[in-house]
């Protein structure tokens, strides 16, 4: 019997194990030895401890690094859910390749390479600087039936997993997830509604800046898609196939690949967080690879991070996409690592070692 994409995915998910708590404890010990108040770098300390637990080593490296920007079009755009048409996806994808977009400028400042990935940009030709991982010429209109088949959903996830494997073998030690695709806040909101059991009103925002009428059409399209497809929250692959996008599938795979191959992956905003939640619903152990960069200004932002049990490093009202929030968090991790690796210790300084004294604010 021929092995399906779903079979391949299931076999890889079965290989993802728990975090290494001994490595986490060693990283915590190193932080405690730094001559500073205990826990005083807050979530920056926790992030490095999480990375140690993921990689199995308290010796942490954050370079080289990449932001994988998964690009794809969404058939639901036909329902008037966005203020732009699909041609904008092509334009931005081309500009990602020549380093002109917002994330490219931020990535240059953060010493991060931008890797655009064509997962299914409508009518997009082979383009230098863009990885061709096309699944189809965009998804189908989810208001008329499933956005993609289950096999296509699995293929998209496997694409993200495989990219992480290949690029880790090439030396990458930190990934960020990004996306580009007109209409993808609609698909992300639909997936979030199902996974979180929330109404459309609570999960749906204006995306790139919809008018009141555009927002009404967006909410109506999501409601229709959920009614037509009736996705089962207990079947995350089915949810992705019914109302997701190829970009979400690729990002989901990147998180799973990070967990499988021991490389941290920064989630970006609400679309990336939806992909992260899909990854965790497919394999709970995948949570060990996910770092929350920021909390999106979109309505679902806080709820998604709460469902992931992740706290954001940045709260700045960002909602640009492309992986910009994830890249913005990289310099914070660099500064944390500088202290972790280079700060003088209590024993070196002659300062008596700080001890935890208890109380609710003991770590503050």
Average the pLDDT over 207-219 and give the result: 83
350: in domain? no
322: in domain? yes
232: in domain? yes
140: in domain? yes
**What is the strand order of the sheet 131-132 is part of?**
131-132, 113-120, 65-72, 174-180, 265-267, 290-292
pTM above 0.85, yes or no: yes
345: in domain? no
Whether residue 151 lies in the annotated active site? no
Residue percentage of the chain with pLDDT more than 70? 98
CA distance 236 to 194: 9
20: in domain? no
What is the pLDDT at residue 364? 40
57: in domain? no
What is the pLDDT at residue 64? 98
Domain region containing 285? 65-337
Q: Is the pLDDT of residue 1 over 90?
A: no
Choosing from 122, 179, 298, 322, the catalytic residue is 322
Q: In this structure, what CATH number is given to the domain that contains residue 219? A: 3.40.50.10210
Neighbours of 362 (CB within 10 A): 11
CA distance 11 to 64: 29
Query: Do you know the residue count of the chain?
Result: 364
What is the pLDDT at residue 59? 98
Q: Which residues contact 245 (CB under 8 A, 6 or more apart)?
A: 72, 74, 139, 147, 181, 183, 184, 187, 188
Q: Is the pLDDT of residue 137 over 70?
A: yes
What is the pLDDT at residue 347? 80
Q: Give the total number of structural domains in the chain.
A: 1
87: in domain? yes
Q: How confident is the model at residue 211 (pLDDT cuts 50, 70, 90)?
A: confident
Average the pLDDT over 344-353 and give the result: 80
Q: How confident is the model at residue 158 (pLDDT cuts 50, 70, 90)?
A: very high
Q: How confident is the model at residue 145 (pLDDT cuts 50, 70, 90)?
A: very high
Alpha helix stretches (DSSP H) within the chain: 5-13, 21-33, 43-55, 87-97, 102-109, 150-169, 184-196, 200-203, 212-229, 236-243, 246-261, 270-282, 301-308, 324-328, 330-342, 346-349
């Amino acid at each position: 019997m021929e092995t399906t994409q779903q079979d391949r995915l299931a076999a890889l998910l079965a290989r993802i194990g728990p975090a290494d708590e001994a490595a986490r404890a060693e990283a915590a010990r190193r932080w405690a030895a730094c001559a500073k108040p205990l826990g005083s770098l807050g979530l920056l300390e926790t992030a490095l401890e999480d990375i140690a637990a993921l990689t199995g080593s308290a010796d942490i490296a954050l370079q080289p690094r990449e932001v994988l920007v998964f690009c794809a079009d969404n058939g639901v755009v036909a329902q008037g859910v966005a203020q732009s048409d699909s041609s904008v996806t092509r334009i931005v994808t081309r500009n990602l390749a020549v380093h002109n977009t917002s994330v490219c400028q931020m990535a240059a400042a953060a010493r991060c390479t931008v890797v655009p990935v064509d997962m299914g940009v409508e009518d997009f030709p082979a383009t230098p600087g863009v990885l061709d991982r096309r699944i189809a010429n965009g998804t189908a209109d989810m208001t008329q039936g499933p956005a993609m088949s289950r096999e296509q959903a699995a293929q998209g996830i496997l694409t993200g997993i495989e990219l992480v494997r290949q690029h880790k073998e090439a030396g990458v030690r930190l990934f960020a997830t990004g996306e580009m695709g007109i209409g993808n806040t609609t698909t992300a909101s639909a997936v979030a509604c199902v996974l979180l059991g929330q109404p459309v009103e609570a999960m749906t925002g204006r995306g790139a800046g919809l008018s009141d009428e555009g927002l009404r059409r967006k909410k109506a399209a999501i409601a229709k898609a959920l009614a037509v497809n009736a996705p089962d929250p207990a079947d995350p692959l089915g949810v992705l196939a019914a109302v997701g996008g190829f970009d979400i599938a690729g990002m989901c795979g990147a998180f799973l690949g990070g967990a499988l191959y021991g490389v941290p992956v920064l989630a970006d905003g609400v679309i990336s967080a939806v992909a992260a939640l899909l990854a965790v619903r497919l394999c709970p152990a995948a949570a060990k690879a996910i770092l929350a960069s920021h909390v999106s200004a979109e309505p679902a932002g806080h709820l998604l991070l709460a469902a992931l049990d992740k706290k954001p490093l940045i709260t700045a009202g960002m909602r640009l996409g492309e992986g910009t929030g994830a890249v913005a968090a990289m310099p914070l991790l660099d500064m944390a690592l500088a202290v972790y690796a280079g700060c003088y210790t209590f024993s070196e300084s002659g300062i008596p070692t700080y001890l935890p004294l208890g109380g609710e604010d003991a770590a503050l």
